[in-house]
Amino acid sequence: MSNARFAALDGLRGIAALAVVIFHGVSGVLAGDQLIHAPLAVDLFFVLSGFVIGYAYDEKLRDGRLGFWGFVRVRLIRLYPLIVLGALLAGAVLLTRVGFHSVSGLLGAAVAIFGSLAIVPLPLGLFAPSGYDTAVYLNAPEWSLFFELAINLAYAAVAPRLKSSHLIALTVVGAAGLIAMYAAGYAGYPEWIVFLSGFPRVLFSFSAGLLLCRYRSSVAWGKNPLWLALLCIGLFVALLLPRLWPKDDIGFTLIALPVFVLVGAHLEVGKRATAIAEWGGRISYPLYIIHFPILRLLNHVARDRLSEGGRLWALAVEIPAIVGLAWLALVCFDEPVRAALSRWKPRRQAEPLTAAAP
C-alpha cells in the first residue's frame, strides 16, 4: 500500500475513543449499561495495537535490529507520559472528595495515586471514600494500558521466535477464553475475576492484529474518501448500539472488530481525508486517558444541581470541551515530552508520534 500510515486505522481509533467518552458520560448519569458495545472499543484498541506494532516492529525484532529493551523504552515513552497525567488528574479529583483534614484519607489517596502511577492494580474500595466507584485504578481507562503493556512485553520477549503458526494458536486460545468469559458473564463475580478477564481479551485481539498485519494485502480495496466515512460511521453506530441479542458481544469481538481493522488497513484516501483521520488518531490516546477523571468531577458537581435530563444535555457541552482539553494535553504536554525523551536514544529506535494505540 502506498499509504504506510494506514490513515483509516487512525480514524477508527479516534471514533473508538470518542465512543468510550460518550459511554462513560452517559453511564455516569443513567444507571445500568446503556451503550453496551462501547466498552468493546478497548478490544478494537488491542487489535489496532497488534496491527500497528506488527507493522512497525515485527521485522526489526525478528532480525535483531531492535532489541527487547529498546522496544520497551519506545513503548514506555509512547504511553507513560499520559499515564502520569491521567493518574495525577484522577488523584486530584479524589482529593476533592477526601479533603485535606483526614490523615487516613490522605494516606489512602496517596496509595491509590501511587498505584495508578505505577500501573499496579489496587482494590480502590480500600482507599477511596465511601460512595466512590470501586475499581482497580483511580483512572479507569488505565486498566487497559496494564494489559497493553503486559502483551507488549510478552510479544517483544518472544518476537524473534514467533511464527505465524504460533500466532494462530494464541488467537485460538484467546478466542476460547473469550467465549468462556462471555458465556459465564460478569454478574456477581468478584472484581479481581473481572479484572483478570482482560487477559483473554488482549491475547485474542492483539494476536489477531498481528496476524492481520502479517497477512495483509498490498492491494487497496477502495480509494474513495466515502469508504472511510462509511467505515467510521459504521463503527460509531455499532459501538453505541445496544445488544441486538443476548451475548452478541462474542460475535462483535471475534468477528466484527477484526473485520473493521482488516477493511481499514486496505483503504486509501486523499490528503484531506487523511489529515482528518490522522488528527483522530493523534487525539485518541489523550482523549481516552484524561476524559474519565474530568467526567467524574463534572458529574459530581452536577449531581445535586441538575436533573437527570439536564445532566444528559450537559454532556453535549462537556464532551466537546474534553476533546479540546485532550488536544491541549497532546500538543502542550504529551508530544513535547515524548520528543524530548526520544532524543535520548538512537533515532532509528524512535516511534512516530502518531503511531500505536492505547
Task: Say how far apart CA 34 and CA 32 lie, in whole Å.
Answer: 6
CB 32 within 8 A of CB 326: no
What grid cell was written down for 174?
484467546
Q: In terms of pLDDT, which residue wins out, 36 or 133?
A: 36
Would the CA dihedral through 136, 48, 261, 295 be positive or negative?
A: positive
What residues does 267 pair with on adjacent strands? 222
Instruction: Give me the residue spans of the domains in the chain.
Output: 7-67+163-349
pLDDT digits (tens, 9 = 90+) for 273-288: 889 999 999 999 999 9
| Mean pLDDT of all residues belonging to the chain | 86
Stretch 85-111: mean pLDDT, rounded? 83
231 close to 260: Cβ distance less than 8 angstroms: yes
Average pLDDT over residues 188-207: 83
User: According to the model, what pLDDT value does residue 341 have?
Assistant: 92
Specify the pTM.
0.90
Cα angle 42, 44, 48 (rounded to 5 degrees) comes to 120
CA atoms within 13 Å, Cβ hemisphere of 344: 8
What per-residue confidence (pLDDT) applies to 150? 95
